[in-house]
Every structure is written in C-alpha cells, then in structure tokens.
Structure 1
C-alpha cells in the first residue's frame, strides 16, 4: 500500500508512469506522495501478472520494481518473504493504516509474530515460553526466506511448515495478517466469491497478545464472529467504548497506602509477562506482602510450575502491568489483583458473576459495574417514547413473520432467517445429493444417527453424505443445530460442507476421508508405528480443543476408533454429527477416554476384553487397561513387557522407548483419582515432547 499512513483522497488522485521510468502516485493538488524512484533510458511497461505481482520492467525484461517486494499485510502464492520484508496488520477493518501486529524474521532467523503499540511490545508466536526446537523451529539457518506455493504449502527456512485444508492446484489463496493479530490462510470459493479460512495460526484468539488491551481479560467464545469476549477486571472501566485495544483503566484512586488496599482472587486467569521478579517457593502471605511493598505492583500470579506440581511448592510473580489477560478453565491457578480494601466486598460480588461455568446449563454474558448518571427528565421521556415505538414495530414484525411461517409451512421466512445463522454452509437440494450419490447406492458407514454414503459432485469433489434418521425434526431446529456445528473449527475435526433440509429430508454433507475409520485400518498392516503415533497426537489435539475451551453446548460420548476418520495422509479427524435426541445441542461422539484409543492402537486389542491365561492355565477375559497394567507391573522395569503387548502387525518396527512412554501417558489418564489425570492439553504436550526427543 503506497503511503499507508496518509493515503490519498481517492477522488482526484492519479498513478502515473513517466517516460523517465518512474512510477508516481499524485494526490489532489498535484502533490507527489509516493514513487518507485526508478529510471530507465529504454521504454518501460507496468504489468499485472496472473500471480498478482505488479511489475515495472524495461523492454529488455529488466525488473525495475515489483509489488511482491513490498507486501503490506498479505502474502500471495510464489511471493517470497525475506529478511527485508514484513507483514503489518491494519489498524481495523475500516482503517488500513499500520496496526499493532507484525510478522517478520527476527535476528535468530525465526519467523515470529510481534505485538507492538509503541508503548508495549511482546512476541507471542511461536509461544515465547517454548525453546526453539520445542516449537518445531530451527535457528540454524541464515537464509531467512519463506514462501507459500501454488499448491497451498507454506515452507520457511526456520522449519515452519503448514498446508491449506484444500491442498492442491485450483483455489486462489492468500496469507494475511489480520487486524486481530492472527495469521490466516484464505482460499477463494469461486462459487460464492467469498474467502474461506483454510489454515490459521491460532484457533483460540485469546492467546494473541494485546487482543483486549491492558487491565482486561479475554475469554474464548467460539460462537461469536471474533471468537472472543473482552471484559474489564473488577475495579476498572473501559477506556474507549469503541475500541478494546485501549483496554481498561482503574475506577479508583491509585494513590493508596498499604493498609488501604487488599486483594481479590480471579480464578482460571493468567496474565502473561511483565513480572517484577520471580520468587520461587513462596507462601501466599509472603507473595501478598511482596506486592504491597512495591508501589508499581498491580497484582500477582500465584502458581505452580510443571516441575513443582509434585513438590507442593508455589511461585510468586508480582506484575507491574496487567496485560495479555486470558481466562480459561485450562488455568488451574489464581491471579490476585490489588484493589482498594474499602470496596473489596463489591468487587468480590462482581467476581462471583465473573466466574467461568461449564455446567451445560448455558452461559451468561458478564456484567460490569458502571456508575449511574443522574436521571435526566427529558431524556427519560424520549427513551420511553423510543421504547414504545420499538415495541410497536416488533409486534408488527412478529405478526408478519408468524403469518409467513403459517402460509409457507416453514419453508419460506423461517428458512431464510436461519440461512443467516447457518452462513458458511452450502444448502443443497435433495435432488442434487441424490444424483451425486447415485441414489445413495454407495454406503460407506452406518450408525445410530443415520447412513453415510459416498457422493461425487459435478466439480469432481468427493463428499460423504449422511442421511439422518430423524425425519420429524423441524427445519428451524435442524438449521440451528447445523449452524452450531459451524462454530467448531479445528484441523482434527471433520469439516462440514453443507446440508439439506427439504420436506422430511435431513442430510449433512462432509468432507470425504479417503482411508475410512481408524477401526478399519487398525487391524491391518497399513499403520506403521509413525502413523499410529501421529494419529494419537492428532486425536488428542482434537479433544484438547473441545475439552478446555468450555463449549457448554457440546456433549462428549463414545470415543472409539470407529469415530476417528483418516484422510489421504492418514491424519485423524473426529466425526461430528447433529444430535437427534437434544433439540438445541450438537452432539460430538467423543468422550474423555483418549487413553483407551491409544492403548488399542498400541496393542491392536479391544479395550473391552483381552483373552489372558491365569495361573491355573485357564483362559479369562480382562479389561485392556488392567491387562496392560499387570504386564507392566510384572516386568519390574524390564522392557520385554512392551514386546508382549505391542500389536504383532508392527513386526518389531518401532522404538521401544517411545512405545513405553506412550503407554505410560495412556495409563496416567486412567488413574482412579480424577484429579491425578492430566488434561488433554497436557497429554498433547507430553506426546509432542516425546516426539521432539525431549
């Protein structure tokens, strides 16, 4: 973008190619605001290539200037990203001046994301607390170059690699650093002429620094378009009602004595960075005292590090700035905020409303405490009049809606209203799906919810088409549930393409998984050790996404290999489906029993029963977990027990050390004490650490 911070007015502006070989941008009043500062004695041409590159070149094909060398916030396929280039986000969706987020190669040769508002700056991708190799990156290069190829693969010299969900030749793509600090890969839907996200750096936007500004908390809310909700912490108010990036400011006198302040607890809250100092092995009282002694201390994090979990030790992190606040059930520790002691009771009441709940009973938007202004009589009259007029209009609208609903039997107005809710999915006709599936003749799966058939559309796209059994379900109800599926976005969940709600027909269209279910492959020789390990990691990532983001409208049930499907690269994805028994909920046939699936992949045996020989020589059936535990206990540290339980189909082609650790992780998840079981994110972390050799 030429002259980004002070753009031209757009009316009397002009881009001119001079005979001297200089390309200039002139604003109204003939003021030159930008130029390529190029010159040539031969003739020049300005060409827009099919790649999107705008090129100024001579008649001898010498390139004088090209737009690919000066990206703004977007990278196109084949456009090289180098040490001399960077992407900078826009300030907002309507303000294209430079925003707070930058993508660049740092001095360690790593591709990073940075938050920078000129007062505060912090690196947030890859995770700053990870070592380079733990983040899957390598600093051992000096080329500093990256590129998105025409197939949808992104490769970087620091070993960062990812791919588009619609990998292959065809769709037009762009990689953009969006205004919210997330890097997203978009693919163009030619039919709808809309851009669809096919990869993103963060599924949880609250992990992006500065997303809600200082003195505020970010909560992941998947059904919101932004994916998040910002709230001021107790005792603070929003600084700018139109822009959360300004954050919140104290609503109390900052100059208070030590005996005038106290602390309130914010459970499941973490503020990253800006620690005064790290104080290990501290008690809560010691930490409070330390924060009171430092005037600049705004509060403190009281938590256990990973290596402290089994020692009972806690560490104290006093904060000079409450920034990068994030609220999630994944955080088990507590944040303490310093506030005036006189108002602690009112703040505590606010915290009760502020708590995260995941009871399945729904969620409530959190209120903030605002000061009431003195009532204005004239304003009150105007408001009453506005309320009355609004109520009358609402009655009229509802009357028209009810009339249309009755006369069109639910296929008109109701459908159109829910089409907005189900945006992003294509609505297929029953005839289309019947033709694509050859009258539903190729069955590829069957379950309690319905029958799944293979379908091939006219554009050669292959899909899985599921005919739901519940023909009596209302269309509005069905579309509401379909739209809820659209809130789920993860690479290890099956992608839903569209639906059909026509008459009594209720169908869902999914991406087709070439290698079928894990169950179909588990007892064959198709899955070597590496594939099985990658499947374990992928399924754990999918569960971690669901379990720890508090999706109260998601039910978890029935983890088994039949519900894990494998794509062409044997990457796993969970099967999701619309609930047939719950009118307003989506049912994911997934349960927190990932450990059984891992043991089944390792052993090749059913989790419900293993045929074993007891001491008397008789055969007996044992649960898989019990059988594996017995084998491990009998070994007394000998690695031969692994060879006894491993699936014979792997033919000893595996790493015994890896296998032993994988089984240990699975058994840890089956601990009788519920609190001793690791979270799914912890399981993912342990598996990835195993993969990296740490």
Structure 2
C-alpha cells in the first residue's frame, strides 16, 4: 500500500513538473527558425513554432497509442483543434521520431527508424531559407531575400480551410471516405468514395447545376473563406455564417459524417459553434449506413436494417446490412433461376435508396412497376413515387438508403414468398434497436478521434513511463550485478523482461528435466521441442534451437526472450525462461497438453482423431484472433508472428487456443501508413505466406492477417486450402478459391463449404461470418482488416453457439 502511495506521488510530481515546463514553453517558442533546426517527439511539450499573435502552434500531437502527428492547431480552442496535419495517414512512433528543417531548406518528418514519412518539398538549391508559422495558421518555408514562399501548408490542406486560405482545383478537403473538391465541370462538390461505391451527394445530384444555384461556366475553380464568415466559390456558391462579422476565429471543416461545417470559436470558453453547414439533413450524405442500410434523422441520426436484413458489423454501420435470404432471382452457377411467382414485396413507407437504378419508367401503375421488378432477375427492390406521375425505379443495388416523412414515395423489397416479415422483426433481424451513429465518428484510418484530451494523455503517459523506466533500470541493474554475465546481444532484452516467473536456466538443468532430450513433441525450422519436468514437478516444453542456425541463434533467442518474456495472454504460449551457454541455446515454454490444431483438424480425416465439434472450432478461431490482436495492438512491443498456421496453434484440454512458436517473430513499430519491417530473408510456411513476401516490400502485420484467413478457411472446410482440387483432380489455385468464396457469400449457401464430417451440425451465421472474414483477409494488403477488427467481429457472434447440436 505504501509503495502504491509513493508511486502515485511520484507520478503527480512528474505531472506537475511537466505542466510547469509546458506552460513556460509557449513564451519560449519561436515564430521563425532557420535551417538546421529540429524537434524530437520526446520534446513534444515544446511547440516547434508559435504564430506571432499566439493563435496557432505547430509541433507533435498524440493521435493514438504511441502514435504522433506533426500538426498545426488553434491554441485558444479547448481541445487544441487541429487545422492541418503533415502525416495524418502515417503517424510516427513516440520515441526517436523527429521533424527537422534541413540545410537544403526541406522540412522533413522522420520515424524512429530514420524513415522519412513526410517532406515539405521545395525546389532545392536555395540557401538561407526560413520556416515560420504565420498568424493565419499558414506554415511557410520562405526565401528571406525576396519574401517569396517556396512551400506553404495552405497549398496542402487536410480536412480544414482557414480564413484567407485559397481553395482551388489542385486541392481538396478529405475526412475518411468523404471529400470536398472542384469537379471537372467547375462545380464545387462533395463525394463519398467508399470501399464498394463512389457517389456525389452535394449539391443534390438529382437536380441540374443551375437548379442547385450554381454555374459551371467559370473555369477558375477558386473558393475562399474570409474573416467575416463568408465562404464563396467561383461556381456562385455563397455561404454566410450566422454570426457574420469580423474579429471571430473561424474554420471550415469536412467531417467524418460527410458534412462540411463552418465553425466560430467562443474566445471565453474555447468551444466551437456551428454557424453554417452544407447539408441541412444529415442523411443527405451517402454511405453513412452502408449497403442496404437506412438512414433516418429523428432528431438524431440513426441507422437501421430493412426487414430480413442484419448488420454486417455490429460495431460499424458503414458496413451496412446483409440479407438473411437469397437476394434476387438470377441463376447462380448450377442453381437455376427462381420463378417470379416465388417472390413477393414488402413495403417500406417514405423510404428510398438513391441511385443504382436498373431503369426508369414514367406514367405506369404500381402493378406494372411491380411486375417489372419481378421479371428482372437482378432487381432487388423498386421505388414507386406517389407524386401523380407514376414514376418507377427498379433497383439493382441498395445504397444510400434514407427514410423521411416528407418523401413522397415508397420502396418495395423483393423477398421469397415464404418470408415472414413480422417473425423476422420479432427475432431482431430488422435491427429495430436503431443503433445511433455519432455524426463525427472515429477516424477511418484507425487513429483516435480528434485530439480531445491530448495533453492529459501525454502527461499521464509520460509520468507513468518515467516511473516504469526507473523501476526497470533499478531491477535490471540489481540482476545484472548479482548474476552471472549474459552474452552482450541478450543483455538488454533480459533486463527488460525479468519477472518473478521468468528465469535463466543452466544447460545441465534442462538436460536433466528432459531426460537427455528424450521425448520429442515436435520440430520446426528453428529447432526441436521436447517435453520436460522441472524440479517441483512443473511440466514444460523445452525448445532446443538448431545448431545449424548459429548465425541467427542469438538473434532468434533475443527475439523470443524479449517478446515472450513480457507477454502474458491466455491465448499465447507463456515462456518461463531460457538458457544460453556457448552453443547451447534453449527456450522453456508452458506445456500445452492437447497437441496442435492440425492434428485435430486434418488427422481426423484419417480416423486418427475425433472430429472437432463446431463449438470447439469457433472457440479456437476466436482465441487465435484474440491472441494475434494482442500481439498486433496491445503488446508493449508490437509483434508480427510471421508463421501463422495450424501447427502453431496449440490446444488445451478445453480446446482453448494458444499461439506458439515465436522463433520467426519480429518486433515492429505500430504500422500507421503502410510502412513495415525489412527482413533479410523470407519467413513462414508455403501455403500460408502472404503475396508481399515475394514482392521485396517491407512486411507489416497484415502478413499475419493473410495467414489467419487461410487458417480460418481450413477450420471451416476441415482440410488444407493447398489440397483443394477440382472434380477433375486439378489443384485449385487461390484466385479460384477466392471466386468460390465470393459465390458462397453472394448466394448465402454456406452448407456446401462446411466440413461434411460435421453432418450439418454447425451454426450457419457463424460459418458465413468466418467465410466473409477469410475472404477479406485474402484481399490486397491495404484492404485487409486488422486483427482487432476481426476479433471484434467474431466476438459479436460468440453467443450464438448454445444449440446442443453444435457441441
């Protein structure tokens, strides 16, 4: 208890000292710097530059766990509102990163490994340049000899436009999937560019340019926000703030809900007030509720699914809804087309899905419109307008759904004849709870929303980190001074991971524990694993690193020790210690008694094992996903496993999964912008390796996501993906497998894919979710989900396997 009090007091004192330093840093900060200046991320409490009137600062801001950006922000705003960011899509590490203004006049941001993630490029060759932050919020590299700007942040906006900042055809404001830009027809527009579709939604696309109050005859394509609160563009758009007048700090920002808003700063409270917005109704923005989703404003923005549809991802409405029945009546492969008589329609009043019409007919009756959709196999619904003109719009794809009492029309969903809408609603399939969508949601790039409370998090993190550093240094010094010496390449790692459960073994101890390495449990590329019993009766697994890897022996031992020694997660094999005596290098692991997944999954086909039940399979999948998510997102160091396969998933007696074999593991910084780790040689196992291994590009955590997708598919089908063959006996290639998976997802028929040995005893919704995730994992690297996303998606279906037949 006393120790806890002392630690708390130490943290509080650290925070006080940091606050004192930060308050004085503003007065010490400079407005202009010459070449050779720099700022490290560790000194982020001190701004890099401050504008002469103190309105703006620029420097490092925390945007996530150990992730930082180089940004410009409003000082007077309560949460230090960011108005420009150099590296929004590629945050840098919280240690070792630096921004520098080089002798060549180039402003550059480097990550902890020295990689340049962003530069303010100049023409080069000029000497004596300066960098300054002006009262307008413009970060400028200037030639003092003639006062000209050779680079300025105003030319490279992110999501915000400031007064006097010119917006033109070369610039755009972007927030997630949404952007404000000048189109080729000279009109200022807003675009939703999502994973599946792209569509313009402002100004209203159903009206002409002139009906929207614009013109496309002025090709200058210029817009500007002035100090009085007027935003004007060359296409005749003119927007005025409700508090029109001078002397107010303003900004124009596009946000994650797809709306562009003008804000005014309340100088006394530091808060922002909306004084104009482009969209008067939030549901006018496209993509908010995803495919098949319906947006409604009453009075908060809400999303819901139509009858017979369920949320694709219970955490993210942007992924929309998926049908619980086959959509449309087209033929799918060998499945014949269904007759029109096998369908009926469900009416959704005052509802529409904008765009994606299969056709348009006017002056026809409701019955004629219905028959049109029935006889078009691609038609999933039709819209019929109640405006006296008899307008009919058959729909192929349902996007941009909205419901409004003011809309004079209905949507009619095509569903199988036996579909019971009331039963589906009673079962919760219509998502009637209407999960609320927060208008300004978290950043789609995976970073923290805005910078709310950034300094608080920084101070707490820095204070706690300081205390931990002191404890680690003291403990490490005591150990290293009292124990026998450790090889230099291991010393740093060992001092970091020493705990009461982690220890160094002698070779003699491990030789005795394994009865001279008698009982072999398995072997891999980096060594052989033996069963051992320590003094006291604890059963362990002892991995003896191969002699022929002496070139990499210390490196592998260091990687295993420094990573595994500090990891403790129920879905990861625990390491108890290590041995390093001359050529003898061994690791001591937790013993997992039920062998590896491949023995239960593949050997059962030969009658050597009992077939894994569906509930056990799902438990293994979920545990593996959680273990990888911990490695990728929650560890003190971020770990890439690099060899995910069924052989490296060990099982307890209760069939809980534990990920093993970190002999190929690699420490990595958090991947923020597509960068990764350079490997000297390819790692992993054929059949589970991501394509980027062969492309000579930096490797990141998405290689594990790809491998997990293969393993996930094998758990569903019960056999190796590499062993899949056509009816003619030819080996199926991965593109053919992916095509088959897409057909399964589109048709909703997962039965044909699931391991036949289960005899139909499985949860179809869980199986379909696993197939969807597997398909996503096999996409291009940038399109693959994170393991954290995957674990959450699987968790959402974890409560659905209570039926006795699944066990």
TM-score under structure 2 length normalisation = 0.41
Q: Which has the higher contact order (CA 8 A, sep 6+)?
A: 2
Give TM-score scaled by structure 1 length. 0.47
